[in-house]
Each structure stands twice: as C-alpha cells, then as structure tokens.
C-alpha cells in the first residue's frame, strides 16, 4: 500500500520555543492522512446523530467523546464554503449535542460555580448565560463553556471540548459544597444566521418576546410540545440562538423536525459548526487555539480574569488559579514575559484556504529562518478575498489600551503553507499581524465583558 507522503521522514519542529509547556504542540506536518474513522460503542452517538445522517453528513470527528458531524456539503459540490454562504445569508442548524451539559444544583450551586470559574458567578442573574473560563491551579485554561444560570440554585455548564464533568465532581469529592454535579440529558442545536430570529419567531410563536431578548438571555419554551431552554448565543458571530432540548434522548426527532419545518420558508440548511465564521469573529476553539497549558493572557482571555476591562482584579475572595493568574497579570504589567507565545490574528497570502487544516502550519520571521510559531485556525475570508488565521508567535510584550497582551499590529512573518495552498511550492507566503476580530460579530459583546 503506497501513500503520497513518506511519513517516516517526519520530524517534530523544535525551533519553536515551547519550553514553558510540559507537552508541546505536535508540529509534525503530516498533511491529510488517509484513514477511515471507526464507529464503535466506545464513543457516544448523540440523540441527533441519525438526524445528521439523514441531513447528509458525510464526515465527523470526536468531541467530548461524542461523534461530531463536521461536513454536509461534499467538496465536489462546493464544500464548506457553500455552508458559509448559508450562514451569512440565510439561516442554519447545527448538531452540537457534543456540548455536554453538566448541571450544578443545590444550596451551594452559586458558591461552587463561583469557585471554579474566574469571573463572578454572583453577578449572573437567573435566566441569563455568560461565556466563562475554568482554570487549573497553574493558570491553564481547562474549558471555556457557556454557563447558563437556570435558577438561583441551578447552573448548566455547556462544555467545549474537554471533559469538565469529572473534574467538577472531583473538586467536590469531599462534599464541602452542598450541591449535586452531574451530566443531564439536555442537548443543544444552534440556529445561526441573519434569518435566525424570523425562524425562531415562527417556531415559538408568542412564547417569548425575541425582539427584547438580550444577548445571553435565556427563556423556557416548548418546541413541538417538548421542554427546552433557549439562549440568544452561538459560536458564529452571526445572529443566533441555541435550543437546549430536555430529555433529548427521547424527543430529538420532535424538536429537530419542528425546526426543519419552520425553516423551510427561510432557506434553512443543516450545516457543520461554522469554523470559517467563528474565525472571522475571533471566537476561540478549545483544543485548537488553546488548551490546559495556555493561560488566559496568552490567548486573549485576560479580561476573564480582570473583569473591569482596565486591568483591575475582580473582588472574588478565591477561585481556582487565582494566585498564579494575578501574579502573572502583575508580571505582565511590570514588563515581564511570563510565557513564550502569544495568540495573534494574521492576514496571509496563498491560495484560498477553504478547508480545515490538518496540521499546525509553521510561522517564521519575516526574514525567514527556522520556524518560531504556528497557525492554529486558518480559513479564507471571502469578503476580504484574503486568507486569515489565528496563531502563536513569540510574545514581544505588546499590550492593548486596557493593559492586556496582544500581538503588535503590522509585524510581518512568513507562513509555510502546504503545497496545495502555496503560490510557489516550497516558498513561504507573506503574513502580517492584524487586529482580531477580522469581521465584527452581530453581537458586539460576544468577546467582551458583559456585566451583571
């Protein structure tokens, strides 16, 4: 059996300084690997899995130990950019049941939640949600979920791709917080795109006033007679909502088919999570743009530690990682560089990147030489007619107006793209640091502090 690439010659790139990590990012450039995903009982199929198959899903990955649909339009039919057109011009539905829901419930639910997240849980009102992060004792980002406050004594952690459920149970293994922590059978879909409100109005009728629903607002509704929580939120930068179906294992078909029916007149399309659009919006993907060895400052999440937006610490007495995060923030203000690499936005040359990257493509300084950084999330920006990306380059100490680390806009680099995207194979393309986001979100506060 022959391969188009000799994998025995691959070597890990060591010139990128990852000496502050115990496990460095794997920078071997293997390209697409011709393997077939094994579907087995070791990985969960979500309640919507069969419905995604009916909608034409042709590929998947694994996320939170659940099979995750990641493509509906095949490359020969236009691929992911057809799905991009649907989300920026019409409305889309995504199967995101992989966002496992961990419920914290009981008299100490608020106290426990406040301890494990960096921002102030006491300021989150019932029936509101917030984007939050959980850090470990070393300041590493363990997860960046959407946190839903269902009631005074009930929170749902809608997880990104790391199994925080077991971690949260471990934090309370001695029972010092009077609350229960368990995964529940509530699974979300996302409804994203400029026609999302119109679709949701048809779906929900007069159950909720969507015109006056705030960003990250929650509401209890019925869809096809089934109990759901909806949130005005999403992973795209477009207008959108999430529908969290209770008892999803029993009622998945009812809710899903009701959305399809309501969406017919709005050109609804079932698509994969829109990574092209979330990259434009500067929305991070855990495991891709950051992991548990990245601290909030180096991946542009410092505001989650310093919620005033002016570098002042929040007033919480304690939370996991507090001491190390505040020391790191103080060191940065003092001109020190407590970590090696900083996440930045880049515009770069090359042929349009209209597919997921199989590798962390390498970055060199403008004058060439050995790689000093790597790309995490690249894609083509149709409106700019330009490739864009997020990636890590050496931290040079640059701070923004609020005192948070950032990349120095205008700094030039070279990016080593695969041959299929290179203007001239073997020659790296030009790249320059630009501000994130690359395209504004429908909700301007998607990545900013939302008080209360």
**pLDDT tens per residue, range 382-397:** 999 999 999 999 999 9
Q: Is residue 225 part of a domain?
A: no
* Mean pLDDT for the chain overall: 94
pLDDT the model gives residue 313: 64
- Determine, yes or no, domain membership for 78: no
| Residue 421 within any structural domain of the chain | yes
> Domain of 302?
279-434
Task: Find out whether the peptide bond into 320 is cis, omega within 30 degrees of 0.
Answer: no
pLDDT for 7 beyond 80: no
Q: What is the pLDDT of residue 4?
A: 61
* Residues above pLDDT 70, as percent of the chain: 95
**Residue 15 falls within a domain, yes or no?**
no
| Residue 434 vs residue 32, higher pLDDT | 434
The structural domain count of the chain equals 1
Q: How much of the chain, in percent, has pLDDT values that exceed 90?
A: 88
Tell me the C-alpha distance between 375 and 226, whole Å: 43
Confidence at 8, pLDDT banded by 50, 70, 90: confident
300 occurs within a structural domain: yes
Q: Is there a domain that residue 154 lies in? A: no
For 180-185, the CB contacts below 8 A with 24+ separation are 180/103, 180/104, 180/105, 180/106, 181/102, 181/103, 181/104, 181/112, 182/102, 182/103, 183/100, 183/101, 183/102, 183/103, 184/101, 184/102, 184/103, 184/156, 184/246, 185/246, 185/247, 185/248, 185/249
Let me know if residue 365 belongs to a domain: yes
pLDDT for position 450: 38
In this structure, what are the phi and psi dihedrals at residue 58, rounded to the nearest 5 degrees?
-120, -10
- Identify whether 237 is part of a domain: no
pTM: predicted TM-score of the whole model, two decimal places: 0.94
- Quick: pLDDT tens for 63-120: 999 999 999 999 999 999 999 999 999 999 999 999 999 999 999 999 999 999 999 9
CATH number at residue 420: 3.30.1360.120
pLDDT in tens, 330-385: 999 999 999 999 999 999 999 999 999 999 999 999 998 999 999 999 999 999 99
């Amino acid at each position: 059996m022959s391969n188009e690439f000799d994998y025995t010659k691959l070597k890990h790139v060591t010139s990128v300084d990852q000496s502050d990590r115990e496990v460095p990012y794997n920078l071997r450039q293997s390209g697409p690997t011709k393997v077939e995903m094994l579907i087995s009982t070791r990985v969960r199929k979500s309640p919507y899995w069969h419905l995604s198959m009916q909608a034409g899903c042709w590929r998947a990955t694994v996320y939170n130990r659940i099979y995750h649909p990641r493509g509906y339009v095949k490359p020969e039919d236009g691929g992911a950019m057809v799905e991009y057109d649907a989300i920026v011009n019409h409305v889309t539905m995504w199967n995101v049941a992989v966002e496992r829901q961990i419920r914290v419930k009981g008299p100490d639910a608020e106290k426990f939640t406040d301890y494990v997240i960096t921002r102030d849980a006491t300021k989150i009102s019932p029936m509101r949600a917030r984007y939050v992060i959980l850090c470990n004792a070393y300041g590493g980002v363990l997860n960046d979920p959407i946190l839903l406050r269902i009631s005074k004594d009930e929170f749902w952690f809608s997880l990104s791709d790391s199994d925080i459920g077991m971690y949260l149970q471990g934090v309370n293994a001695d029972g010092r917080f009077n609350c229960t922590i368990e995964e529940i059978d509530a699974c979300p879909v996302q409804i994203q795109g400029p026609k999302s409100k119109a679709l949701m109005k048809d779906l929900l009728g007069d159950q909720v006033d969507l015109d006056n629903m705030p960003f990250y607002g929650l509401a209890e509704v019925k869809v096809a007679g089934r109990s759901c929580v909806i949130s005005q939120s999403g992973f795209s930068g477009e207008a959108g909502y999430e529908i969290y179906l209770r008892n999803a294992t029993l009622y998945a078909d009812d809710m899903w088919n009701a959305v399809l029916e309501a969406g017919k007149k709005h050109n609804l399309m079932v698509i994969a999570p829109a990574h092209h659009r979330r990259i434009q919006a500067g929305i991070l993907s855990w495991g891709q743009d950051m992991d548990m060895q990245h601290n909030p400052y180096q991946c542009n999440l410092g505001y989650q530690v310093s919620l005033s937006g002016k570098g002042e610490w929040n007033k919480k007495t304690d939370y996991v990682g507090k001491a190390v995060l505040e020391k790191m923030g103080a060191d940065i203000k003092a001109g020190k560089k407590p970590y090696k690499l900083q996440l930045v936005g880049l515009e770069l040359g090359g042929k349009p990147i209209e597919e997921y990257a199989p590798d962390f493509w390498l970055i060199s300084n403008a004058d060439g030489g050995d790689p000093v950084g790597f790309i995490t999330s690249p894609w083509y920006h149709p409106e700019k007619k330009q490739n864009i990306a997020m990636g890590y380059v050496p931290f040079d100490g640059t701070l923004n107006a609020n005192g948070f680390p950032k990349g120095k806009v205008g700094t030039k680099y070279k990016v080593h793209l695969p041959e299929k995207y290179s203007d001239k194979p073997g020659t790296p393309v030009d790249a320059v640091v630009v501000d994130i986001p690359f395209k504004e979100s429908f909700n301007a506060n998607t990545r900013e502090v939302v008080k209360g």
